[in-house]
Amino acid sequence: MLERISNVLTQRTHGTVMKIHMHHIAHNLQVYRSMLQPGVKMMVMVKAFSYGSGTAEIANLLAFNRVDYLAVAYADEGVELRRNGVHLPIMVMNPEPETFAQMLQYKLEPEIYNFRILQLFVAFLKNENYNDSPISIHIKLDTGMHRLGFMPDDIPQLVKNILQQKQLHITSVFSHLAAADEMQQDAFTLQQITVFKSACDVLEKQMGYAPMRHILNSPGISKFPEAQMDMVRLGIGLYGDDPAKHVSEKLLFTSSIETTVTQIKNINAGESIGYGRSVIAEKNMRIATLNIGYADGFRRSLGNGVAKVWINNNLYSVVGRVCMDMIMVDITGAKNIAEGDVAEIFGEHISLQQFSEWMQTIPYEVLTGISQRVKRIYLQE
């Protein structure tokens, strides 16, 4: 009851909020966990503010649900997690030399993707006179994405370099699939998996021990179960998006954006609406102004009828240009809308996938593009 009261008061104070349904996230985690072969571990991506949902809050939920690893993009994200009491192992995917000291202090594990980063990290440890237990590192291999990672031909030299550094221990070797979510690219994905397995075999033989292997992302978990190996990496699937219908049908939406109707007014035929007078009313209209704009993540491209909002059990089209802090919607003919009413931007009635299509982008960009001024509210049943 207290949580519900607090939630209502928060909505009255902040015109636009993002509700995070924690029990839905836990449900989606279990959906993917149920697909894993026995003994397969799970790493969950919490980079980019946990896809806009709040890094520490999501990480603590994941820790409670006993995931094995977390991954962040940059060291400062990992530091924030440590300061918020998260003790799970954390891989940093873009370790920067100026953050090596923080990574050591907060026990964050770097991804090593080329010889330059390896050499800089080794030099840092020598400068610090580091003699404690070996530091866990994660080796990234490039099997076809051609973004970051050692090429398979680099492995002999890589192994030689690492064997000279007793303070380093390869905890995992991994790669990134370029098109696991695109069926027409399955042959290429299988080729990546084959290249990865061969490269890991070479590295393991030369190192003399077997680091964990992982290559599957969210869509790959169900699509290529034979390649789950030692660990999988769950990302956007946690938040309810998967290209496979048999998986997406089991997932729940995890985020909803709600705003309020701040003013309602009648517009006469011939009058204009919004910036640039891009809309001239052909007939008398009724317009509702909502407290959300492009500064919140509601893109300008969604104006002039592209997007719709959900108010009191009906959809209404955005009319005119999207403003920085507001949008206008056409509610002509609606009898049950009043100032102060709640409008859903996406969530239970407008799916994240639908909203992404209106924006001509992907759910990743929608979620990570929600402004920090949009207050996050965490709901738990």
pLDDT tens-digit readout, 312-345: 999 999 999 999 999 999 999 999 999 999 999 9
Assess whether pLDDT exceeds 80 at residue 139: yes
Architecture of domain 35-241: Alpha-Beta Barrel (3.20)
Tell me the one-letter amino acid at 155.
Answer: I
The structure tokens 């397969």 sit at 40
Continuous segment of H or E residues that includes residue 355: helix 352-359
Closest CA to 121 of 107, 142, 135: 135
Mean per-residue pLDDT, 345-366: 97
Domain range annotation of the chain:
35-241, 255-379
At 186 the pLDDT is 97
The two beta strands, 308-311 and 285-290, are unpaired
Spatial separation of the C-alpha atoms in residues 28 and 234, rounded to whole Å: 10
At 48 the pLDDT is 82
At 21 the pLDDT is 97
pLDDT tens-digit readout, 180-220: 999 999 999 999 999 999 999 999 999 999 999 999 999 99
pLDDT tens-digit readout, 64-113: 999 999 999 999 999 999 999 999 999 999 999 999 999 999 999 999 99
Assess whether pLDDT exceeds 70 at residue 370: yes
Mean per-residue pLDDT, 138-142: 99
pTM above 0.85, yes or no: yes
Whether residue 274 contacts residue 323, with contact meaning beta carbons closer than 8 Å, is answered with yes
Assess whether pLDDT exceeds 50 at residue 350: yes
pLDDT tens-digit readout, 217-271: 999 999 999 999 999 999 999 999 999 999 999 999 999 999 999 999 999 999 9
Categorize the per-residue pLDDT at 145 as very low, low, confident or very high, splitting at 50, 70 and 90. very high
Work out the percent of the chain whose per-residue pLDDT is above 90: 93
Spatial separation of the C-alpha atoms in residues 229 and 225, rounded to whole Å: 9
- Maximum distance among all Cα pairs of the chain, rounded to whole angstroms: 79
Question: Which two three-digit tokens encode residue 167?
Answer: 């303070």
Mean per-residue pLDDT, 44-61: 90
At 14 the pLDDT is 56
At 12 the pLDDT is 44
Categorize the per-residue pLDDT at 176 as very low, low, confident or very high, splitting at 50, 70 and 90. very high
Work out the percent of the chain whose per-residue pLDDT is above 70: 96
Question: Which two three-digit tokens encode residue 232?
Answer: 């999988």
At 114 the pLDDT is 98
Mean per-residue pLDDT, 112-117: 98
When the candidates are 3.10.20.340, 3.20.20.80, 2.40.37.10, 1.10.287.3610, the CATH number that belongs to 255-379 is 2.40.37.10
SS3 label, residue 237: helix
At 55 the pLDDT is 86
CA distances from 297 to 10, 301, 360 (A): 20, 11, 14
List the catalytic residues. 47, 275
Mean per-residue pLDDT, 107-125: 98
